[in-house]
Every structure is written in C-alpha cells, then in structure tokens.
Structure 1
Amino acid sequence: MPPASRPGAQGQHYRTSGVVRHVPVAGWRENEGVSGVERDRDGAGRARSARPRDGLGRPLPYGVAGVARQPEGVVRTPGRTVAEAQRLLDAGMPFHAHEVFEDAWKSGPAAERELWRGLAQLAVGLTHAARGNATGGARLLRRGAGRITGESGGADRYGIDTAGLSGWARALADRVEGGAAPVDPVAEAPRLTR
C-alpha cells in the first residue's frame, strides 16, 4: 500500500492490517533511549499498541494469541455498562472491565463522570494487585473508593453498591499492601450491584 505521510514526521507510515506502522528515516531516532524503530499507530496516526494482551492487559509478544480487546469508544447504557463490566470482572479480566468503565466515563453526562472514573480505578487497581504491583494496586483501589463514595454522596446509582464496593476496595488495598501475594482476579472480583 502507498505510504501515508504525517506533517513533521521524520519517516514514513505504512498501513498494515488496519494499523499504521511508522518506520523512521535511517539514522533518525524517534524516541531517544527507546529500542526499536517501529511504532503501532491507528488510522489517525495516534500511537496505539497492536500487541496482543493477556487477561490482565499485559503485552504479549507479536504473533502470540492474546485475549480479545475491548473496543474503544463504545457508548452503552449505564445498565449495559455495569453488566458488561461485571461479566469481565467475573472472567478475571479487570483490565478489560476498566476499559468499559472508561468508555462510560468519557461518553456519559458530566454529572456521572466521577462515578465511572472511580469504577475504572477500582478495576485497574484490581488489575495491578493481580499483577503483583501492591503499591499501585492499593493506591488505585483507595482512590477509586473515595471517588465513588464522594461522587454519589453515599447514594447508589443504577443499582451500583457504592458502599459495598468502597469497603471491598479498602479491604483489598489493606491486604495487598500488607504484603499478600498477587491476588486471584476471579476470586477477588467484586459484585457491582446488590
């Protein structure tokens, strides 16, 4: 296919399998200190990793079968968002559940953004705890717990059990921060609704 050019880019962009691959001009390093010369880009030229991912969102080597990605930018009803995120949490894929919440946070009404953002932080906090990152996991779990209880004023919205989720997140944060081994994301999956 013909190269796609981007103003100011020091190289060429080639479209392969729906992803634009950037190949810099010989001798020019796009990212000083970063090895490799190829960067995955979407059709608009934004950096997007095309590497397959595992169930916790960790990158796998190119060519390895990974877990199907959540499509980005999907607008769902609040009920559908909660149901899809719960399905992913129950399957041990909190990273993917965080992406569902992120879609709701970015596309929903401004008055609900903190709720969805807090739920996304809970899911990514569980992701970090499952990956063994106790500090990052605990921090995100606590931040998300504070956000969902602060946003809602303690009132549940769409059947979401904000008080129960906040308690779950704080207890898990204490446990992982206390030196517990990486958690099992299926065993630790929270119930989003009562």
Structure 2
Amino acid sequence: MISRDRDTAGRARNDRPRDRLGRPLPPGSAGVARIPDDLELGPQQTLAFAQQLLDDGLAFNAHEVLEAAWKNGPVAERMLWQGLAQYAVGLTHIQRGNAKGAGTLLRRASERLGSYPANAQQHDVDRAGLIAHARELLGALDAGDAITEERLRTRLCREPT
C-alpha cells in the first residue's frame, strides 16, 4: 500500500501537480504553481491575490486562496470567505465543463453571499455584483449556452469611487 504524504498534524497532503483547472496530473508532471496549504494573508492581500488568479483564468487557484481565508480567518467572517471560495469553485466547474457542479456551487455561493450580514465586515467585496454575475451564469448554464473564459471574468471587490 502506498503511504500518503502528511503534515505535522497528520492531515493528508496532495502534492501531486495540477493543471490550470486544478485537475491532478501524474506524479512528476509539470503543472501550475500550487497555493501553499498554510497560506495566511490579510483580507485585502487575499482578495488581491484571488483577483489576479481569476484575471489569469486560474479559478481553482483563486478558490484555494479564498479557502485559506475561510479556514484561517475570523469565525465572524467565515460565511463571506466560504461564499467567495464556492463562487471560485463554481467558475472552476464551468471551466471543466461540469454544468451541474457549477450550478450547485454558484447557487451555494449566492446563498452564502446573500445571507452574510449587511453590517458585517465585507472588505469592499461586491456581493451584489457577484450574486448578479452568478445568476447570469446560471441562466446561461440552464439554457445550455456556451460560456467563454471572458464571461467568467468578474471583480471580487467594488471599484473605488
């Protein structure tokens, strides 16, 4: 039996290389740069890094950055970060051609982002814009329309005024 690589807490690590859509590649293959499991950034750094990855078409990696904030951030903000991570996974499923998975994750993301308290810390996240974009993508998925990479591009934060 092959043993898995584990961290100091005993959690399994997946060190296999991945393609740009986050799919595992055979060991020894060249893949895209991985996001460290122990990534800890402040909220603005997290959002800027995730935005750059989304702009580069790397929704899976953006999801990993946002998931790190979800897991490592303050309990009061976890619903926000979880919604953002689910949103990025929804985009990943679209990139992979998995309409059903995309629909499920975009709906969950919209619910999380929509139910996050309006008076809570939001770090300028454009929740309304992301929910509207998710609905647009869900409509296209339901209609069986092709969704281009360009249609997946969106802004996580409101533009400065």
Aligned position for 1:189:
153
Query: Deviation at 1:184?
Result: 3.8
TM-score by length of 1: 0.74
Q: Which has the higher contact order (CA 8 A, sep 6+)?
A: 2
- The count of corresponding residues between Structure 1 and Structure 2 is 157
Q: Which runs of 5+ in 2 are unaligned?
A: none
Q: Which runs of 5+ in 1 are unaligned?
A: 1-23, 25-37
- Measured in 2, the distance between the counterparts of 1:154 and 1:125 equals 26
Could you say what secondary structure the match of 2:25 adopts? coil
Larger Rg, first or second structure (1 or 2): 1
1:42 paired with 2:42, answer: no
- Measured in 1, the distance between the counterparts of 2:3 and 2:145 equals 37
Question: Residues 123, 116 of structure 1: CA spacing in aligned structure 2 closer, same or farther, 3 A cutoff?
Answer: same
Larger % of helix: which? 2
Aligned position for 2:54:
89
Could you say what secondary structure the match of 2:152 adopts? coil
Aligned position for 1:174:
139
Residue-by-residue CA offset, 1:77-106 (whole Å, 9 max, x unaligned): 110010000000001011111111111111
RMSD over aligned Cα atoms: 1.9
Letter in 1 for 2:5: R
Query: Deviation at 1:175?
Result: 0.9
Aligned-pair identity in percent equals: 50
TM-score by length of 2: 0.89
- Measured in 1, the distance between the counterparts of 2:120 and 2:136 equals 20
Q: Is the Cα contact below 8 Å between 1:40 and 1:50 reproduced in 2?
A: no
Could you say what secondary structure the match of 2:86 adopts? helix
- Measured in 1, the distance between the counterparts of 2:41 and 2:58 equals 19
Question: Residues 155, 50 of structure 1: CA spacing in aligned structure 2 closer, same or farther, 3 A cutoff?
Answer: closer
Q: Is the Cα contact below 8 Å between 1:91 and 1:186 reproduced in 2?
A: no
